[in-house]
Amino acid sequence: MTDQHLHPDTVAVHSGRADLADLGVHALPIDLSTTNPLPDIERGGDSYEAMATGGRPPADGSMVYARLWNPTVARFEDALAEMEHAEAAVAFSSGMAVMTAVILAHTSAMGKPHVVAVRPLYGGTDHLLGSGLLGTDTTYCHPSEVRSMMREDTGLVVVETPANPTLELVAIADIVAAAGEVPVVVDNTFATPLLQNPLDHGAAMSLHSATKYLGGHGDVIAGAVACSEQTAEALRRVRAVTGGLLHPLGAYLLHRGLTTLPVRMRQQQLNAQQIVQWLIDRPEIDEVSFPGLDGDPQGILERQMRGTGAMIAMRMSGGYAAASAVVSSVKLFTHAVSLGGVDSLIQHPAALTHRPVPADARPDADVLRLSIGLENVGDLIADLEQALPVSASAAASRSRPGAG
Ligand SMILES: *Cc1c(COP(=O)(O)O)cnc(C)c1O
């Protein structure tokens, strides 16, 4: 089942299931034990020691305690690792919990507090790095500036591509070259392992808010990172010590979600591409941001992705008033944060997902972000069509002098 030559669609369905036949089961088992029997004190203690320092449970030992190891979570991790062409993956209670562990393992744990972060980033990541809460000193920059921002005490480079919410693409291999020996973590949430594998381009880690496309149904909050076994050990140590665990029920749902990721992503992407084509001709929209829409001048889409994904950003001609009117007028789209689920969402990044970002780096007030789901694309376009004219007229009346 771990044959690297299998098609990604097949890997998505079969990965992390190698032990099921021996267990005599077909569906993924869920192990909810918080504690585990110890064979004897010696082997119990050795097992504890192995896992508290980031290792796996010894074959003749015990899993000891669920903060150290859970087989349902481990099975999901193995599946994700295979999809990401990685040796290992480590799952956490949320995307921010995994980002926290990645930062801690590479900065304070290594005595290297400096982080180079390429903007734009998800608002929560930007906030976490800028807050100094984890003792980091962060330099934000553009992709072309990474090399000149590197210092002796730089422990980590953080980049997101496609970026949230602008859908800008960053060439991963260029960032890796600029970072030199310093590990690069790529937030791969928007692309998913189906469309992009950052490790194949030299990144040390591919990070996911699994809450989004991996889960895909808006009912699990989780995070995961794919990496080398050595990095996984450092991250499992942080997880064992700080306790940002993924619950096994969440891991079960994510693992099940992986099996339909290829078909969901392909259909959502197709819907998004048709919506983009419709949006670019609308007078209510000033600008549409979508991977490849500008013709991929740097060839990044061609080189590092296998598709566009299903996220869209659009700039309203009528400014903030128009954006506000659209989110209030949609009927099929839900006005809500998050993304990557089977149903379509729309939200205002500057007010919500990117609210904690400093004003000079925050998305513009006229920008809306759309996450396209699995509904019929004609119905989605009809919903946007009925919402847009309302917004155009609302904006016109609001911007008319003296109209208040
Ligand atoms: C949502 C999101 C996160 C944070 O993940 P949570 O699961 O909400 O903690 C990080 N990066 C990106 C790109 C996201 O969209």
pLDDT tens by residue, 157-181: 999 999 988 899 999 999 999 999 9
Using the mean position of ligand 1's atoms as its centre, give its distance from the Cα of residue 395 in Å: 32
Structure tokens at 36: 């585990």
126 and 227 together in one domain: yes
Shared domain for 51 and 129, answered yes or no, is: yes
Of 228, 258, 288, the position where a domain reaches its end is: 258
Q: Is the dihedral of CA 226, 232, 236, 237 positive or negative?
A: negative
Last residue of a domain, one of 232, 258, 284: 258
Residue nearest to atom 4 of ligand 1 (CA): 95
Does residue 303 sit in the same domain as residue 235? no
21 φ/ψ angles, rounded to the nearest 5 degrees: -60, -40
Name the burial class of residue 223, with classes exposed (0-12), middle (13-18) and buried (19+) by CB atoms within 10 angstroms of its CB: buried
Domain membership flag for residue 404: no
Ligand 1 neighbours (beta carbon < 6 A): 94-96, 122, 124-125, 160, 164, 187, 189, 209, 211-212, 221, 223
In a domain, 388, yes or no: yes
Q: What is the CATH number of the domain that holds 343?
A: 3.90.1150.10
Number of domains observed in the structure of the chain: 2
Residue 297 CB coordination number (10 Å) = 7
In a domain, 221, yes or no: yes
Choose among 213, 167, 191, 170: nearest CA to 367.
167
> Do 50 and 170 fall within a single domain?
yes
* pLDDT at position 47 over 60: yes
Catalytic annotation on 67?
Answer: yes
Mean of the per-residue pLDDT values of the chain? 94
**Domain interval for residue 15:** 3-258
Do 166 and 194 have their domain in common? yes
C-alpha 95 to ligand 1 mean position (Å) = 5
Extract the runs of DSSP E, i.e. beta strands, from 3-126: 88-92, 114-118
Model confidence band, residue 17 (pLDDT cutoffs 50, 70, 90): very high
Domain boundary among 224, 258, 292: 258
> Is residue 136 domain-shared with residue 278, that is, in the same domain?
no
Does the active-site annotation cover 252? Answer: no
Residues 90 and 233 in one domain: yes
Report how far residue 288's alpha carbon sits from residue 164's, in angstroms, rounded to the nearest whole number: 14
For residue 396, the model assigns a pLDDT of: 57
Q: Which residues pair with 88 in a beta bridge?
A: 227
Question: Is residue 39, in this structure, part of any structural domain at all?
Answer: yes
The rounded distance, in Å, linking the Cα atoms of 165 and 187 is 13
Q: Outline where 141-282 has alpha helix (H).
A: 146-149, 172-179, 192-195, 229-242, 248-279
DSSP codes, 57-77: PPTTS---BTTT--HHHHHHH
Whole-number Å distance between alpha carbons of 331 and 194? 30
pLDDT digits (tens, 9 = 90+) for 269-320: 999 999 999 999 999 999 999 999 989 989 999 999 999 999 999 999 999 9
Band (404; pLDDT cuts 50, 70, 90)? very low
In a domain, 185, yes or no: yes
- Is 274 in the same domain as 212? no
